Amino acid sequence: MSVIEYLTKSLKSARQEKNLSQRALSLKTGIQQTQISRIESDQADLRVSTLVALARSLELELVLIPRSLLPAVNSITQKKSNSDNSSTAPEPAYQLGSGVDDE
């Protein structure tokens, strides 16, 4: 899956999770519903300004991270999405020591 396909799939998924129609998202962002449809079906050349507007309206944020940190970020976001689908308490992204010096 290309980066663009991943982004468009993520935008569509976020819109659906918020129970927004393409029309409602259009009214919220000022982006035409037909353009949102083309974006979600990967038939439009997505401009960065449009991507930012759609993401922010869906309470998402675009962030560029160093590639070397990608595994850590993926781990954190995967744990977050797993905890959203689980009734158990979420695990912290890191764990502090027990308070006893290990030296």
pTM over 0.75: no
End-to-end, the C-alpha distance of the chain in Å comes to: 47
**Band of residue 102 on the pLDDT scale cut at 50, 70, 90:** very low
The amino acid present at 12, given as its one-letter code, is: K
Count of C-beta atoms within a 10 Å radius of residue 40: 19
State pLDDT tens for residues 45-92. Answer: 889 999 999 999 999 998 889 999 989 988 887 766 665 655 444 454
Rounded mean pLDDT of the chain?
Answer: 83
Q: Strands of the chain (E only): list them.
A: none
Averaged pLDDT for residues 24-41: 96
Can you name the CATH fold of 3-57?
A: 434 Repressor (Amino-terminal Domain) (1.10.260)
Count of C-beta atoms within a 10 Å radius of residue 46: 16
- Write down the domain spans for the chain: 3-57
